[in-house]
Structure 1
Amino acid sequence: MRTHRIRIAAAAAVTAAALSLTACQGAGGGTRDEGRASSTTTTAPTTPAPTGTPAPTATPPSTPTAPGASGNESTSPQGSADAPTVPATSAAPGKNGKNGGKSTAGTVVDRPCDASAVRVVYSPVSRPLNHALLTVTNTGRTACNAYYAPVLRLDDGQAAVAVDQDSKPQAVVTLFPGESAYAAMILSAADGSGQHGRTSKKLTVWFAPRDNVGSAGGPAVLKLPAGTYTDSTTRVTYWQTSMEHALGF
């Protein structure tokens, strides 16, 4: 009985020893595995960029807005200050007879013509008899008015040549640059009824101002053709828009 107990105790001891040895071996193996893992360098996997994703692009700096681009200021180039001043009204054909001139509708001209900005020409004509034509052309850069009739003096006479009042036009003749006006001189009576006949050599021409008092500027002095005969009936017409109108008196 005692022997049997001894054997059972020995068997139990052997079994416990075996179990203890197995546990130690398992623990030792795990330690060796952990040592090997701790000595190994681990590289983190690199995640590739998704295919087709564009690389980021640097944003360009914004361009400052130029003054005036907002509409508060004009960006148009300024006109030449040299360019010249153009009337704001539109040009229209003028009533200047056959002289080819043009006037400007609605333009108010208040400047009398004077000898400093015009050219005056005396021209004898064959018809009507004893007539001559005075032509005044605006050679200036601004328009002027040929008021009333030219104020004429023959040679050194004290009195002005008489004006034919029947020749008064309906309106003042305005001359824009390059345009002309006309006045006829009736030199002597066609029937010989005139008195104090003489040969005149010089003609002085003044221009009337708006109020017809005195003269506008200085005179133009013309040398008359040889043999120009005048008498007491010599007279001059108002300024006209065409030579036909002037010579019709």
Structure 2
Amino acid sequence: MSNLRTSRIRLAGAAATAVLATLSLGACSDGAGVKDEGASTTVQPSKNTNPDSGTDASNADSDSGSSSNSSNSAGSSGAKTSTNGSGTTAHTPTSTTPAASSAKPVTCEGSNTKTVAAPLNRPLNHMLLTVTNTGSKSCYLYGYPAVRFGEAQSVPPVIEDSQPQAVVTLQPGESGYASVNLSAADGSGTNGHTVKSLSVYFQGRSGSGSVGTGAHPSLPAKGVYVDDSLKVTYWQQDMDDAINW
């Protein structure tokens, strides 16, 4: 009996040990253990092998690039604005005044004018001289034309009453006028003769002598008839004022 009781006690102790072992194994495989392993698994892949981590890194690079591009765009915009501002300043046209308007007027003479001589039917025995400014500056037609027909040694007198109130001023392209009384309409003139050449000289501001070069307008092939009654008018701004004398 004693031996049997001992065997039962030993068997019960073994069973208890087995139960304790089972409980220990259960404790090792409970939720806490799984969570610990899961935490370890979650932490390690996020640093090394998790594909989501790679995606995030790519997005981070993309964001960084966008930020860089935005910065570059801002820089480019600033440079462009600066360039445009510089270009605008560099290409801003400066106002200029035409030389013809700003330059001081000069004296009209042969080198900056063109002179045309045209005989007139009315008034009878008259010739009209037309002087056109061909230069780039305004010019003054002072006094009256000093004309020489043919081989004449002197110039004819001027009709004093024809003097205008102001000096004739010609802008580039404008014309001034004077008329020449070639001979007496009633035939009372003396020393009449035909001439085929004409020279016209221009006076300066002082009115004494000629200045610059003369003009040599052509005459009709048959020439013109002149006598001692030959005289000229002052230069006129208007053609009608010239031929009225």
| Same fold per superposition (TM over 0.5) | yes
Three-state SS of the structure 1 residue aligned to 2:210 is: coil
Query: Post-superposition shift, 1:74?
Result: 0.5
Distance of aligned partners of 1:222 and 1:75 in 2 relative to their CA distance in 1, 3 Å threshold = closer
Paired AA for residue 65 in structure 1: A
Match of 2:134 in 1: 139
Question: Which digits, 9 at most, give the CA deviation of each residue in 1:13-48, with x for residues without a partner?
Answer: x9xxx89x869944762356327848x9524399x9
Distance of aligned partners of 1:192 and 1:71 in 2 relative to their CA distance in 1, 3 Å threshold = same
Query: Post-superposition shift, 1:247?
Result: 0.4
Does structure 1 residue 76 correspond to structure 2 residue 70?
no
Decide which structure has greater helix share: 2
Match of 1:124 in 2: 119
Q: TM-score, normalised by structure 2?
A: 0.67
The total of aligned residue pairs comes to: 211
Unaligned 5+ segments in structure 1 are: 1-13, 49-54, 89-103
Q: TM-score, normalised by structure 1?
A: 0.66
Query: Post-superposition shift, 1:134?
Result: 0.8
Listed as ranges, the matches of 1:53-72 within 5 Å are: 57=63, 58-59=65-66, 60=69, 61-62=72-73, 63=76, 64-66=78-80, 67=82, 69-70=84-85
Match of 1:164 in 2: 159
Question: Which digits, 9 at most, give the CA deviation of each residue in 1:129-185, with x for residues without a partner?
Answer: 221111112223333222221111122222222111211112222222322111100
Tell me the percent identity: 38
Paired AA for residue 205 in structure 1: V
Task: Report if aligned partners of 2:104, 2:137 keep a CA contact under 8 Å in 1.
Answer: no
Question: Which digits, 9 at most, give the CA deviation of each residue in 1:44-67, with x for residues without a partner?
Answer: 399x9xxxxxx6643311415244
Paired AA for residue 129 in structure 1: L
Match of 1:97 in 2: none
Match of 1:245 in 2: 241
Unaligned 5+ segments in structure 2 are: 1-8, 53-58
Q: Would you identify which runs of 4 or more consecutive aligned residues in structure 1 move more than 6 Å?
A: none
Query: Post-superposition shift, 1:71?
Result: 7.1
